[in-house]
Chain A
Amino acid sequence: MSENLLTVGRSVPPIYGIEKATGALCFPADVTLPGMLWMKILRSPHAHARILEVDATAAHKMKGVAAILTHRDVPRVLFGPYQNEIYALEEELRFVGDTVAAVAAEDWNIAEEAVRALRVKYEVLPAIHDAEAGTQSGAPDAIVDYPDPLSIKPGDIRADQLATFGNIIGLKEGGPTVANRRGDVEAGFQQSDVLVERVFRQSEVNAVSHEPRACVAIYEDGKCTLWCSVQDPYRLQDGAARVLGLPMANVRVVATNLGGAFGVKVTGRFAILCALLARDTGRPVKIWFSREEESIDSHNRSALTHYVRAGAKKDGSLTAIQVRTFLDNGYWPFGGLGQNIGFAICTRPVDLYHRCPNVNWEVFVVRTNRPSTGPYRGRADAESHFPVESVMDELAQKIAMDPIEFRLKNRLRQGDDLCSAPKKIVSTVWLEEAARSGAAAIDWQRRAALRASHSGARKRGMGMAMVIHSCGSNPAGTSEAEVAIDSEGRIALFSGTADQGSEQQTTLRQMVAEVFGVALDDVGGANADTSTCPFDSGPFSSRTVYATGIAACRAAETAKSKLLECASLVLNTAAKDLETGNKFVWLRGDRSKRLSLRDVAAHAGGSIRGHGIHRPNEDPLFAYGFAAAFAEVEVDIETGEVKVIRLVSSHDVGRAINPMIVEGQILGGAAQGLGYALTEGFCFDQRTGTALNQWFLDLRTPSILDIPDIEPVIVELGEPTHPFGAKGCSEISYVGVAPAIANAICHATGARVTELPMTPDVVLKALREAKRTGA
C-alpha cells in the first residue's frame, strides 16, 4: 500500500448520490414504456396443493386482458438462480403465495381483477409447517413432484441435491444435512468446569428491500430485453434464454441500480413469466411486486432452532461445542442452497473459536411448505452467531471472566487452517484490534458500574458479540471487469455487478482511478448490463469490493500497461520508465516529457482496453471479515421493553476504500440487525401456513426514531490478498447486533433471552424464567 493515494481511502461522495437524493435515478421499478402491459400473479391460497384445473374463460372475456399463462402454457424448461432448479409454472404448489398463473392486461387494476376471475380447482395436499415436525417419521412430504431425472442436464440441479429423507435435505437417511465434527465432545464436556445448555429459536425474517421486485420485458424480432431487479443479471440472461428458446446473445438484462437487494433478489419466476408474456403479446410487460408479495415470494432468513451445549475450563479455554440445528428451508425445491448455508452455519463460528478442540455441530435442513429461505445479508452467520455468542457470554459469566477476554483466548489466529474453507488458511485476523477499539468506543470499563447504578424498573446493561463473516475472498463465483481508455482519453470501467445501494460502483471506480492516478470524476463506466459489461456472478457475500475489485484492478493494470507500451513508442523510451497521472503519461522523474491519454489513444488508433478476472479458489490464503458489536441497553423489567441506548460496531475492513461508504454500510447493517434483534419476525398461522404479518407495518423494520446512536469503528490494518488491502464489509455489521443486545439484556437483568425477535412478551417470559430459576 502506497502512502500517497489520490482517491483510495477518501470519503468522496458516491457517484449516484445526488440522483438518489433527488429521486432522479432510475430503478427497474421506474421503467415505463409506451404501450406497456401490466402483469399480475395469482398466488396459491394453500400451503400444499395440486392444480386440477384452471378455468380462465371469465378472465379472457374481460376487457383489457391481453394474455394469461398457466402451468400448461409454459415451456417445460428448468432455470433458476442457483442452478437450474425450477420451472416457470408448476402443477404442484408448495407454499401459501406460490405462483399459480400470470396475467398481462392494459393496467394494473385490470390485471388484478383478471387474476381474481381465474377459477382454479385445487387438490389440497398435507403440508409441513414446522422444520422439526417435518423430520418426524410419518410426516408428509413437503414436495411431491421433482424434475424428471431424465430431463436433467449437466449444470442443472443434481439428483443428489434433490434427495430428502423425511424432508431432511441430505445424502444419508437419518443423518443431518451437514455436520462438522472434530475431537470428542463427550470427553470435552468431561474436562469442562462449567457447562451451558440452551435452546435458541429464531424467527424467519424478510430483507424488506426498499424496492419490491420489478421487471419490464420487451420482445422484438426474436430478441428480449429485461430491466429487472436482480443481483444476478447473467443468471437471468441464461435462464430467460433457456425458457424462451433463444441463444443467449438475443437476451439482454439490465440491472444497473437496485433499490436494495441484500442477497435475496435473484432470478425468479416473476421475471421469466414477464418475458414469456412480452413474447406472447408482442408488447412491453411490467410486473412490480406489492409489498406483501415481496414479503413472501422472496428468499427469507430461515426460522431456526438450535439445541446447544458448550463447556469451558476455569482458565477460559473452551472444551466442547455441541449443536443440533434445525433450519426451515421452506419450499425451495433444491438442496444445494440449504446445504451451503447449513455448511457455513456449522463451520464459521467453529473457525471463530478455532482453539476449541471438540466440536459436533449437526445441521438438519428441512423442507417445509413455507416461503423460500436463502442468503440474506449476513448469510449463515446471523443464523449461527445468536446462539453461539449467547452461550460464549454465559460461559464467560460462569467462570467470572471478562467476555471479551474469554472470546479472545479461544479465537482464530492468522495462519490457522479453516474448517469453513477446507485446505485454506486464514490470511489476516484483526479481530482483537476490532474488539479493543470497539470496547474503547463504548467505554467497556463502565460496564461493572452500570449494573450497580440502575434503580427502579429500568435496568441498564452492556453486552458484546464477536463476528466472523465472508468478505469476498474465495467467492463461489467469478468476476470479470474491463477498463477502457477511449479515443478522447476518457477512462471507463465496465463491470457486470449491480449496484444495489452499497455504492460499489463508486468504490470500484476509486480503485481504477487510483491505478491511473486520476480523480474519481475522470473514471466513467457502465455496470450490470449484459450487453455491454463482462460477466460477474453478482454482488453477494460482500464480495464486490474484494473479488470484483481485484478484477477491476487487474483490468486497469492491463489497460495501463498497454497504454504505457503505446506511449513508450511515441516518447521513444522504455515503458517501465513511464507512469500515469493527471490524465497524462509521463516520464518518471521528468514530467515535462509527457503525452495526454487522448494523444496516446490517438496513436493507438482507437480505444485501449484491458480485461481482468478474479476466479474462485485462486488464492490459498482465505480472507475473512471480523467485527465486534457492542450494545448498551435499558430494560424495563415491568413492560419487557428493551431500549437500546447505544450500539458500537467495530470492523476489520482491511482498508476502507471510501470510509464514508463503509460507515454507511455499517450503520445500515446495524440498523437492520436491530430489527432482527427486537421487532422483525414472521408469525405463521399454524393451521394454514400463512405468513400472517406479511404487511409492511407488521414487518416492523426499525423506524428512524427506533435507531439509537450507532458508532461505526473502522480498523484498517490491511489485507495482503487485495491490491488495496480491502475486505468487503457490507453484511457483517448485521450479524453481531442481536447477540450483543441479548447479552446486554442478560447483563442488565440476569435474564437470558433465547428467542428472536426479543419482543416485550419474549423478554417478560425470560424475566419470569430467570426469577423462577433464581438467576
Chain B
Amino acid sequence: MKNFKHIDASSTEEAVSALARYGEGARVLAGGQDLLFRIKKYIVNPECVVNIKTIRGLNFIRSDAPEPVRIGALATLSQIAQSPQLQRSHAALAQAAGVVASPQIRNMGTVAGNICQDVWCWYLQDGFSCWKSDGKFCDLAAGDSRYYGSVMGGHLCLSNHPSDTAVALAALDAKVHVVSPRGGRVAPMDEFLCGHNWVGARLQSHTLELDEIVTEIEIPFRPTRSTYVKFALRKSWDFAIASVAVSAVIQERVWTDLRIVLGAVATFPYRCTKAEDLLRGRPMGEDLAIAAADAALKRAKPLRMNQYKVDLSKTLLRRALLSLAA
C-alpha cells in the first residue's frame, strides 16, 4: 500500500476539519473492515486516513420510548445485534447486524462504517478500469453479474449496495445525522443512500460530502414488527445475494405504516412503494403476498447472469411478509 498520514481524531470537530484539509485525499476509518482491505489492495490510495474510532462517546445505543432510538456512529455491529432493546423494538436491525460477515468483523465493524461501505465488485478489485477506478466503463453489464450485480439498473456503476444494516435501517425509516465544518444535517436513508453518485472525482455509494462524517442514526420508535431475511451462499462471512427487510404496524391483521426494502438487488436499498401501497390497510394472505412480491420486482431489469435474483427476491419477500403476519 501507499504510505499515508494517519490522524486519530479526538472529536468530531477535529475529524471534519482534517477531512476538509485533505479533501479528496482523505478517507474516514470507522472500523476499518472495508477501508483497510481497499488500501492494501490499492483500490483506494488515500493521502490521509482519519480515524474516528478514537472519538469518545460515539458508540452509544439510547432507547427511551416513545423517543426515537439513537445509535452512535461507532456502535459496533455486535453491540447492535446483541442489544435486547433493539431485538425487541427494531428486530430487523438487530437481525441484520447479526448476520453481517463474521463475529470478528462484527466486533470491529461499526454501523456507520457498514452503511458507508463501498461495493464488493470483482472487476473493481481485480484492477479492471471502471467508473470507480479511473475509467468510464462497467464490466457488470456484459460480464459476470451473478452475485453482485444490480437487477434494478443503475447509473454508471452497476454494483449492488452490499450493506445488510442499511436495508434494515431503510425499512425502519431511519435518519442519518451528519456533521461537517459547516454544521449538521439529517438525511433520511433514501436520501443518504440513493445509488452511486459523484463527489468530486469519486463515484461514491453514499452521499456524504468529502468533509462530512456520520455521527448517529435515529430510528423512530413505533409499535412496529420488523424482520430482515438474508440469502447468501454461506451462513457466515458472506454478502447477501438477495435480502429483504419489512416493517409494519399490524393491528387486527391489517397492515399500516409499512415499509418494504430489498437488499443486494440495486445500487441502494431498494424501497418497494408499489408493493407497500398494495398491502396497506388490507389483511395479509398468500395471494396478497404474491401480488406484493410481483409488484416489488415489477421494474426489474436483470443483467445477463442475475435473472434468478428476481424470482429469488420475490420468494424472500413473500415469505417475509407471511412470516411477519404470522
A-side residues, CB < 8 A to B, are: 45, 109, 112-113, 116, 638-641, 678-679, 683, 685-688, 690, 692-695, 697-698, 700, 702-706, 759-761, 764-765
Contacts and interface: CB of A to CB of B under 8 A. Distances in A.
Contacts, number: 77
A703 B127 contact: no
A693 B241 CA distance: 15
Given A112-B1, A700-B234, A705-B236, A764 B144 contact: no
Overall SS of chain A's interface: loop
20 contacts: A109-B3, A638-B311, A639-B231, A640-B312, A678-B233, A679-B233, A683-B144, A683-B146, A685-B139, A686-B143, A687-B143, A690-B128, A692-B123, A693-B122, A695-B122, A698-B122, A702-B234, A703-B237, A761-B146, A764-B311
A703 B241 contact: no
Interface in B226-277: 231, 233-239, 241
A639 B234 contact: no
Contacts of B308: 640, 760-761, 764-765
A58 to B, nearest CB: 15
Across the A-B interface, the 9 shortest Cβ-Cβ residue pairs: A705-B235, A692-B122, A703-B236, A638-B315, A761-B308, A705-B236, A683-B144, A679-B233, A703-B234
Contacts of B120: 697
Contact of B315 (A45, A116, A639, A688): A639
Contacts of B64: none
Interface string B303-326: 001001001100110000000000
A687 B127 CA distance: 14
Contacts of B235: 703, 705-706
Nearest to B231: A639
B122 A759 contact: no
B143 A685 contact: yes
Contacts of A678: 233
Interface string B160-203: 00000000000000000000000000000000000000000000
B126 interface: yes
Overall SS of chain B's interface: loop
A486 to B, nearest CB: 46
Nearest to B127: A45
B127 A706 contact: no
Interface of B: 1-3, 42, 102, 120, 122-123, 125-128, 139, 143-144, 146, 231, 233-239, 241, 305, 308, 311-312, 315-316
Contact of B42 (A116, A641, A693, A703): A116
A688 B123 CA distance: 11
A692 B236 contact: no
A639 B232 CA distance: 11
Given A113-B2, A697-B120, 15 more contacts: A109-B3, A112-B1, A638-B311, A639-B231, A685-B139, A686-B143, A692-B126, A692-B144, A697-B238, A702-B234, A703-B234, A705-B234, A706-B235, A764-B308, A764-B311
A697 B3 CA distance: 26
Nearest to B236: A703
Contacts of B1: 109, 112
A760 B309 CA distance: 10
Contacts of A640: 308, 312
Given A638-B315, A639-B312, A706 B123 contact: no
A686 B2 CA distance: 31
A641 B123 CA distance: 26
A126 B241 CA distance: 35
A641 B238 CA distance: 15
Contact of B125 (A116, A695, A761): A695
B222 to A, nearest CB: 30
B229 to A, nearest CB: 11
Nearest to A707: B235
Contacts of A765: 308
Contact of A704 (B127, B128, B144, B236): B236
